[in-house]
Structure 1
């Protein structure tokens, strides 16, 4: 039997998610029946790609296709989707553009989105689960003999380092971002490293890569001029963090992304003990 909202359900019934994180949250809360369209980049949960039509990328969307779905609510992220939001608003669609860029912001986002679909209690419980997971990881990281210095690379041409929630998760997982001053910049163009030598001078112990839309190539990073002097390169501590679990400000980052980084730092610490 199809699970459909009752006639007394006054919350949004036909939601289009322009990015991945609202889809993941709504599925986690058991509210996926409300979703009628998703981002083409969506991979979590896997069944979402099979069940829902894909109507947007990150910087573009099929406005006509979205309107055909007759949405009563569209969810997007950041000023990057401002033009999409503008077109939909002009067409009479209600749009919510969130702009959360921190771990605290992700947790608040989960709670707000849950409240918007009448699932405030389930959302609060889900957020508490994430908070407990974060606390558990922090407690383990507190026992590290030494915290690795970490360089996170979000793109390679030009070199772009990680955004705020990534830097915060690195700290929670037990490392220290070597460019914390850059992480506060919301736009990628403001997180470009003008000189690759900055990374050499920062001497990271671990290099994490998540090249949005393409596979991270550790061997190419290690072959950069002068980078053989970097401890991470000398000891082979270069790792990929898959972009779907770290480059979206949603549950994936708080669970799988955090876990992936933490495992790397635990292994690195084991080498220090040895």
Structure 2
């Protein structure tokens, strides 16, 4: 790879003489993508939340979480590049990591952003063929899924991610994009009373703010229980409460391929 500029999803320009060989990934879904692009041997460090593929927790160095990282462990690994994400990692972490080596930051809100990230990784890590294969598979699965949902009527939904305080998916995030794709109208997206990407909400106002048909309780980052479903459901007129796999709604990258199959099964159950 000749030295050339590649621009990440925050608009930061990077120059590399050769394709980076020592990668640290601080984003669980992107660790999975790097593995699926055939880059296992180049990945030297991951977070404790990088649970896919399973064997990485015993073969790769764990350098902290997504919001708290061990800078000295990272420095000692001598990475060529660190992969971060605007939502998963803080600006302070990124600024500190830039003192060690180049930091590539992704920003995924739409499915188009996801395709772009995969294309960028293909260019960055000189695995364009694998990246194109993944984008082709995802494009085919996306088209197939759109066809699957085209006659499913739109239902109002609320997607909970946290308790104490209760927090939901709002607008301008990947979860909301996938809700829309599934013909779910997010009652907290575009609502001026609850604006923001992950607003805190009051359960007692839920009927006024949209009274959803469906309440989704995500498996991550908060592990909701049956009693939470009962408590939240009492504040709607008729909502069905559904426990969902948070990875399928919030992980981007190659995970999206499994997500489309998961969504089909979910609709069949609904």
**Shorter-chain TM-score tier:** 0.7 to 0.9
The equivalent position to 1:86 in structure 2, one of 95, 100, 104, is: 95
Cα gap change, 1:259/1:166 in structure 2, threshold over 3 Å: closer, same or farther? farther
Instruction: Quote the Cα distance in structure 2 between the aligned partners of 1:218 and 1:117.
Output: 44
Cα gap change, 1:263/1:198 in structure 2, threshold over 3 Å: closer, same or farther? farther
The equivalent position to 2:213 in structure 1, one of 205, 223, 234, is: 205
State the match for 2:266 in structure 1: 264
Instruction: Quote the Cα distance in structure 2 between the aligned partners of 1:211 and 1:179.
Output: 19
The number of equivalent residue pairs is: 248
State the match for 1:11 in structure 2: 19
Q: Which stretches of structure 1, 4 residues or longer, exceed 4 Å deviation after superposition?
A: none
CA contact (8 A) 2:161 2:222 kept: no
Instruction: Quote the Cα distance in structure 1 between the aligned partners of 2:254 and 2:106.
Output: 15
| Residue 113 of structure 2 corresponds to residue 110 of structure 1 | no
Q: How many angstroms does 1:257 deviate by?
A: 3.6
| Residue 37 of structure 2 corresponds to residue 23 of structure 1 | no
- The answer to which of 153-162 and 196-205 deviates more is 196-205
- The answer to which of 209-218 and 11-20 deviates more is 209-218
- The answer to which of 71-80 and 195-204 deviates more is 195-204
Cα gap change, 1:137/1:111 in structure 2, threshold over 3 Å: closer, same or farther? same
Cα gap change, 1:82/1:159 in structure 2, threshold over 3 Å: closer, same or farther? same
CA contact (8 A) 1:218 1:238 kept: no
CA contact (8 A) 2:218 2:224 kept: yes
The 5 A counterparts of 1:1-274 are 10-78=18-86, 80-91=89-100, 93-144=101-152, 146-162=153-169, 164-181=173-190, 185-186=196-197, 188=198, 191-193=199-201, 195-201=202-208, 202-210=210-218, 212-224=220-232, 226-227=234-235, 229-232=236-239, 237-252=240-255, 254-268=256-270
Deviations 1:83-120 (A, max 9, x none): 222222223x1111222222221221111112110012
Q: How many angstroms does 1:226 deviate by?
A: 4.4
TM-score (normalised: structure 1): 0.81
CA contact (8 A) 1:175 1:265 kept: no
TM-score (normalised: structure 2): 0.82
Deviations 1:40-76 (A, max 9, x none): 1011222222321111211111111111111011111
| Structure 2 unaligned spans of 5+ | 1-16
State the match for 1:272 in structure 2: none
| Structure 1 unaligned spans of 5+ | 1-8, 269-274
Classify the secondary structure of the residue corresponding to 1:96: strand
Instruction: Quote the Cα distance in structure 1 between the aligned partners of 2:182 and 2:233.
Output: 30
CA contact (8 A) 2:27 2:50 kept: yes
CA contact (8 A) 1:18 1:74 kept: yes
Instruction: Quote the Cα distance in structure 2 between the aligned partners of 1:231 and 1:258.
Output: 27
> CA RMSD, aligned part only?
2.4
Q: How many angstroms does 1:15 deviate by?
A: 0.4
Instruction: Quote the Cα distance in structure 2 between the aligned partners of 1:259 and 1:181.
Output: 28
CA contact (8 A) 2:110 2:177 kept: yes
